[in-house]
Chain A
Amino acid sequence: DAGITQSPRHKVTETGTPVTLRCHQTENHRYMYWYRQDPGHGLRLIHYSYGVKDTDKGEVSDGYSVSRSKTEDFLLTLESATSSQTSVYFCAISGPSQDLLYGYTFGSGTRLTVV
């Protein structure tokens, strides 16, 4: 998937535990995004990054934090997982810039189940 990988692909965790999802890109793109996808809600932006150590909130950021210490890695952390965070999580990268003509390229996704 165009040099973007997510890990793990699947995870089952217990309520109240911290969880970290990893997104790794080899494209050297500046912009990276975390989305969640749920039936009836579509893709919703959680957080995004516009450079190393530069991040901002999306529309559903409560309960999530992110970090970006290197261009290639963008981490999403659920501080204390809840059942409402059971979802499929997608990481995406923008084009070489955030030019209006570039869409996003998505990773393969992480299916997270909180029990």
Chain B
Amino acid sequence: QKEVEQNSGPLSVPEGAIASLNCTYSDRGSQSFFWYRQYSGKSPELIMFIYSNGDKEDGRFTAQLNKASQYVSLLIRDSQPSDSATYLCAVKSSGGSNYKLTFGKGTLLTVNP
């Protein structure tokens, strides 16, 4: 069973701070990694993906990947109240002839004004 683990939170940070969200995965064959944001009552929305070790930056978001440690993280700089949401980590790996995404249970982030 391929597993993706996230701290359920809630993670609470003040406005303007850096929020750090973490994710570990069990399948060493996993090849690409995604972060989704889900507002309450809404569908998941893709915000970042990464497939190479190291950092990938997009605006206020930075994804970090360490395949040796089977660890992926998402940093949100200058956090805003509008960043308050559940963040889902997803891992793509092969399952036979088809790739599938396996999701973690999500971390609830609250940014306090």
Contact = CB atoms under 8 A, between A and B. Distances in A.
Interface of A: 1, 31, 33, 35, 40-45, 48, 50, 56, 58, 90, 98, 100-101, 103-109
Interface of B: 31-32, 34, 36, 42-46, 49, 51, 88, 90, 92, 98-106
Nearest to A40: B105
Given A45-B100, A56-B98, A100 B51 contact: yes
A100 B103 contact: no
24 contacts: A1-B43, A31-B98, A33-B100, A35-B103, A42-B105, A43-B44, A43-B88, A43-B103, A44-B103, A45-B102, A48-B98, A48-B100, A50-B98, A98-B98, A100-B92, A101-B32, A101-B51, A103-B90, A103-B92, A103-B101, A104-B90, A104-B101, A105-B46, A106-B45
A101 B34 CA distance: 9
A13 to B, nearest CB: 21
Given A48-B98, A98-B99, A103-B101, A42 B46 contact: no
Nearest to A100: B32
B34 A103 contact: yes
Contacts of A35: 103
B49 A103 contact: yes
B43 A106 contact: yes
B14 to A, nearest CB: 27
Contacts of B31: 100
Contacts of A101: 32, 49, 51
Contacts of B36: 103
A107 B44 CA distance: 9
Nearest to A38: B105
Contacts of B104: 42
B49 A109 contact: no
Contact of B43 (A50, A56, A90): A90
